[in-house]
Amino acid sequence: MSCVMIASPNQSVLEKVVHAFGYRSTEDFLRIEIRNLLQQKIAYYQSRIDFYEQKYGMNFDEFRRRVVDKSDPVLSKFGIIEKEDDDNDWDDSIDFILDYSSYLQQINP
């Protein structure tokens, strides 16, 4: 399959390819593709959050409140290092979602 690129001789190769894929400009391409990438990242980190909520049966704030109680009936089943690792990953996932969501809101559709 060949791709016909009709463009002015002044256009860069990138601009020609972007137009060949149906985008109006490299800025449109960049905006749309970055929004797609941000949405994919948000979905990934949300899946991490969902995993930990399912694993522990609680949200992150409740986990943080209860994790310090060594006699907690739910959390005492898990090892200290496992809870520490999960806490870090869970917290990072929340931070990434907040950052990526903020970026997404700033980029016009």
- What distance, in Å, lies between the first and last C-alpha atoms of the chain? 31
Task: Determine the average pLDDT of the residues in 36-44.
Answer: 98
How sure is the predictor about 9, in pLDDT bands with cuts at 50, 70 and 90? low
How sure is the predictor about 21, in pLDDT bands with cuts at 50, 70 and 90? very high
The reply to whether the predicted model has a pTM over 0.75 is yes
Instruction: Report the percent of the chain where pLDDT is more than 70.
Output: 91
Alpha-carbon separation of residue 102 from 37, 78, 106 (angstroms): 14, 34, 6
